[in-house]
Structures are given as structure tokens and as C-alpha cells.
Structure 1
Amino acid sequence: MLLVTGGAGFIGSNFILRWLEHANESIVNLDALTYAGNLENLRPVEHDPRYRFVRGNICDAALVADLFERYRPRAVVHFAAESHVDRSITGPSVFVETNVTGTTTLLNTAYRYWLGLPDEEKADFRFLNVSTDEVYGSMDRESPPAKESTPFDPSSPYSASKAAADQFGRAYARTYGLPVLTVRCTNNYGPRQYPEKLTPSIITRAAAGLPLPIYGSGRQIRDWIHVDDFCSALRCILAGGRPGDIYNVGASNEWENLAYVRKICAVLDELRPRAGGGSYADLIEHVHDRPGHDLRYALDSSKLREDLGWKPDVDFESGLRATVAWYLEEGPGVAL
């Protein structure tokens, strides 16, 4: 049994769907169903006897303790988080509550549960803490990708809250011996993402003929990985990762935001040509830049590749095309 937090969100729902395809092991999904969580994402498995959904908040220590006692998980996969940078700028407090307080509540409950396990189960237990590349802060264009040892330099309230949650996980591993695995990943794209994020926002706005806002010059650089590749990395780390270790997960697939949006527009031009002719790229509008906008994120994933033999399998061009097609077919009603 796995306990997954935030499993109704983008990455969490894709992880659960892929997990139940690859493994005959049950999952309990704890999700508060805030605005970005949607059980429609998990409709394919809602009647699967291996899947259980519990609505609740990771800050609720009594509920979390009850779930550990009732279901006896052999691992926790912790996705639950507030994750939108813009929202963190206008309202940082909820990011501290969910990302920092919620994570420490979960860690503390897991630790107490872990202490009471028989020796064999105790040795096998894992707490997989899902972090982000944003904890490393902004990089120059010429800088080498961040390694697991690169110092933190978060820029936004979001990345600061994730850095704190990340470090609390590391502290529980060092101080208490809790077998925490820390995972830091680059930007994910793929199906089931809430439309406020760049990829689904551009697709759904373009399909509706709306302007496509790009912050500042659009020359900020991100490394993009398909969510299925990230989920395969998580399965790999959960199976073979060394307790206490950190693993960066990236696809070495860097694009400037403007170029990335233009690629989405090119796919849209092919799959759903504009009625009046012209390219969807004509809808691009540059808007005032976001405060503290980081120039570049990039991760060195050589440790994961060399130690555990993982590599991304989804070709970027085909993955992006499939992603655009998914949003065009399913529409924002499912993506929300």
C-alpha cells in the first residue's frame, strides 16, 4: 500500500494512473481537493479495488495518523502542495501553511508510525518528498545545470516554501533517520494539468482565440519533461533510491518560454488551423514581467541516470503534440 498526497492534481493523478498500470499494489490518495485538484483526473480508476480516495488536508495530524494506522502504508509519495508562483506572490501565507506546515505534519506523523514498525517493515519504508528545481533559484544562461549539491537560492514565496519543505525532509532524514528520498524536478508538461499553468493555458486560450500573454521578453529558459517520464523516475527512485539521498530529475530539454509557446502554436496550426487563417502565434502578447522572475532553471540528472539507470523515454516533439491533442480533445472541463 502506498499513501499518495495530492493525488488529484496534475502530477499526482498521472502518477496514480501509471502506478496502477505498472504495479499490483494499492494506493490511498489523500487530497484536500482545493481549486487545482479534480477527481475527474482519476475517473479511469475510481472503481478499481486497488484505489481509495480520502478527502482531507495534510495539516490535519489526526486524520493523517488515522490513515497510517488504518492502511499501514509501506511508502509515502508526497505531492500535495500549493504550486503556482503568481498565487504565491499575491498570497504567500497559504503556501507556508500547506507546503511547510503540511509537510512537517506529514513527516512527523510518518516518523512516529515508522518507529513502531517491525524491523523488516521499518527497513523497507520510504518517504518520497517531491520538491522542485526552483529551490536552486535563477541561473545564468552559461551556468552548468544544478547538481544535487548546488546551494539553494529561492526567489519567490512559492520556491521559498518548497525549499523549506525540502529541507525539513532532509532534516528528518539526518536527525531522526527517517528514510526520506528527496526528488527535485524540472517543468512537467502533459495531460491533466490545471489551466493556470503555461502549457494548458496557452493551448486552451489559443483554441478560444484569446490573447496569449508572455511575461517580459519571453526569454526565460525552462527544462521540460513529460509527466510520464517524471512518473517513471519516481517509480525508479522509490524502488532503488538510497534513503537520505537527493535525486534531480530533468530531460535536458531547455527552451525559452517564447520559443516553447511558438512550438505549441505550430502544433495547433497543424491540428486545428485557425478559421480565419494565420498562425496562433499571432495571438502572442508580451505583458509586464512577473516580480522576481527567474531567468533559467536546469538540472543535472546524471546521478539518477548513472546510479539507478533511469532515462526519459518521451520524445519532446511527439510528447508535446500528444499533449496539445489531449487538451483539444478533452477540453478544459477535464483539465480543470
Structure 2
Amino acid sequence: TVALLHKIAQTPSVRSVIVATSDKAYENPEHGRAFKEGDPYGGSDPYSASKGACEIATAAMRRSFFAPGGAHPAGVASVRAGNVIGGGDWARDRLVPDIVRGCLSGDGTVALRAPGSVRPWQHVLEPLRGYMTLAEHLYHDPETYAAGWNFGPFREDERDVQSVADAIVAALGKGRIIHDIDLSAPKESHVLRLDASRARDRLGWHPVLDFKRTTELTADWYAWWHAGGSPAEITAAQIQHYTDLLSETV
């Protein structure tokens, strides 16, 4: 991140920079409260600590080289989304891909390691829209918008891992959920919540997909792919559907 920002500082044409970290960048004392942008960074595991370090490095580079105090006019912002889900994700050790692989396996078994963990789930298109909105504001007014921002779902759409698995299995119409809790596994936060009121108040951004629609769209993508459909076609159709929903909320 620092090397990239150094290169950008030498490129006068750049006007907006978005550095994406994670909701895990915050120090989490497990108080259950939603994290705000002014809360301290940290992490009790290497991944979380690396994201907190990235936030600190980004803020230091912004103060040293970029607007409002530095020589380069670009606005640099850092963003933290919730637990992003959506079609096309096949990464290992991620909840939805693991659920889909389990559902589509021979015996349909879906093994959950932490069924009670609560996360701010959101469809990938939600934070992406927020990032693009922020980039536009940075271009026009870097002094105001060069900061850290949270993009997360409404509180009522936060769910535990079990609820996500139940929803995906129901939408796919197949799968058998079991619990496979490993007490020797590295510690993970039990509850993660994001307060996105700054983005709602100052950017006019807010989620348009509730939890039910988020999981349905995600499951629909994988069901389409499993049936032999074109990933590009279903992706384009879902983007259009999302765009139509946005126009209805204006």
C-alpha cells in the first residue's frame, strides 16, 4: 500500500484514491457495539492486525503527501466494508463459497465452524457503489472527503453464520448443515458490526438490498452457474437488477 501511494504521489493526473481494508481493521473488545470511523485500529490475529496497519499507513501517507496538507492534489480515502458476498467468489475458507461447495458436493454436507458468529453481511454491489460514490466526491472536494469510511448493512440485516447458511441452502434447494467447531482453531471475533451513518449522511449512500434479497441473489448466481449458465450473463443481469432497484429508491 505504501509503495503504491508513493507511486501515485509521483503521478499528477491521479485525483481520487480508494484504499480498501476490512471491517476487521478495528480493535475488537467484543463489546457488540458497531464500529465508527474514529475507533482505534488493532487486531488479535495477524489478518486483522495487517488491516489495521494498512489503515495507519494510509492515513500517514495522506497527511504527508496528499490533500489537504500535502503537495499532491489527490484525495486519499480508506474504506471498510462488511462481510461481502455475491456470485463468482470461489476463494477457500470463505463462508459462502464453502457453503456452495458443500451443497453441490456428493453428500451435500455444509460444515460450519462458527455458526454463532455475527457479521455485517452485504452484497458486493453495495460497497462497490459506495466506493464509486466516494471516489466522485474525492475528485471534486478532496479536502472534505479524504478520510476513512464505513460501508455496511442496516442493523436489522446483520445475521449470524447459521442464518446465512440456512438462507443459501434454502435458496439452492439442497444441502445439509452440520457444525464442525474446532476449539483449537485461531481465535476469531464473535461479533463484528459497522456504523455506516457517516456514508449515509454525507454521501447519500445506503443499502438497497436486505438480507433476504442479498442471499437470494447470491444463491441465484451459483444455481445459474451450476446449471451451465454463463457467469457473464447472470452477472450482467444482476447488475441491471441492482441498477433498477436504485432508480426506484431515488
Fold match by TM threshold 0.5: yes
Aligned to 2:146: 244
The count of aligned residue pairs is 213
Task: Give the TM-score, by structure 1 length.
Answer: 0.59
Aligned to 1:134: 24
Q: Distance in 2 between matches of 1:165 and 1:191?
A: 27
Inter-CA distance 297–159: structure 2 relative to 1 (3 Å threshold):
same
Check whether the contact 1:195–1:332 (CA below 8 A) recurs between aligned residues.
no
User: Structure 2 matches for 1:6-85, cutoff 5 A?
Assistant: none
**Residue 60 (structure 2) pairs with residue 171 (structure 1):** yes
Check whether the contact 1:204–1:332 (CA below 8 A) recurs between aligned residues.
no
Q: Distance in 2 between matches of 1:139 and 1:189?
A: 25
Q: Distance in 2 between matches of 1:323 and 1:248?
A: 22
Aligned to 2:162: 258
User: Which 5+ residue runs of structure 2 have no aligned equivalent?
Assistant: 68-74, 139-143, 233-250
Equivalent of 2:209 in 290, 300, 314: 314
Q: Distance in 2 between matches of 1:293 and 1:128?
A: 27
Q: Distance in 1 between matches of 2:226 and 2:131?
A: 28
Inter-CA distance 198–128: structure 2 relative to 1 (3 Å threshold):
same
Check whether the contact 1:200–1:327 (CA below 8 A) recurs between aligned residues.
no
Aligned to 1:144: 33
Letter of the 2:124 counterpart: V
Aligned to 2:248: none
Equivalent of 1:232 in 106, 126, 129: 129
Equivalent of 1:284 in 165, 169, 178: 178
Letter of the 1:245 counterpart: A
How many angstroms does 1:332 deviate by? 11
Check whether the contact 1:211–1:284 (CA below 8 A) recurs between aligned residues.
yes
Letter of the 2:52 counterpart: A
Q: Deviations over 1:192-215 (max 9, x none)?
A: 212421112202211223432211
Higher relative contact order (CA 8 A, sep 6+): 2
Task: Give the TM-score, by structure 2 length.
Answer: 0.78
Secondary structure of 1:283 counterpart: strand
Q: Distance in 2 between matches of 1:283 and 1:163?
A: 34
How many angstroms does 1:171 deviate by? 0.6
User: Which 5+ residue runs of structure 1 have no aligned equivalent?
Assistant: 1-102, 275-279
Secondary structure of 1:284 counterpart: strand
**Residue 90 (structure 2) pairs with residue 194 (structure 1):** yes
**Residue 109 (structure 2) pairs with residue 211 (structure 1):** yes
Q: Distance in 1 between matches of 2:177 and 2:147?
A: 45
Q: Distance in 2 between matches of 1:162 and 1:153?
A: 8
Letter of the 1:298 counterpart: R
Secondary structure of 2:120 counterpart: strand
Inter-CA distance 136–201: structure 2 relative to 1 (3 Å threshold):
same
Q: Distance in 2 between matches of 1:224 and 1:139?
A: 20
Q: Distance in 2 between matches of 1:326 and 1:128?
A: 28
Letter of the 1:194 counterpart: W
Secondary structure of 1:192 counterpart: coil
User: Structure 2 matches for 1:104-115, cutoff 5 A?
Assistant: 104-113=2-11
Q: Give the fraction of aligned pairs with identical amino acids, expressed as a percent.
A: 25
How many angstroms does 1:143 deviate by? 3.1
Q: Deviations over 1:65-86 (max 9, x none)?
A: xxxxxxxxxxxxxxxxxxxxxx
**Residue 49 (structure 2) pairs with residue 155 (structure 1):** no
How many angstroms does 1:331 deviate by? 3.8
Letter of the 2:181 counterpart: V
How many angstroms does 1:159 deviate by? 1.6
Aligned to 2:117: 220
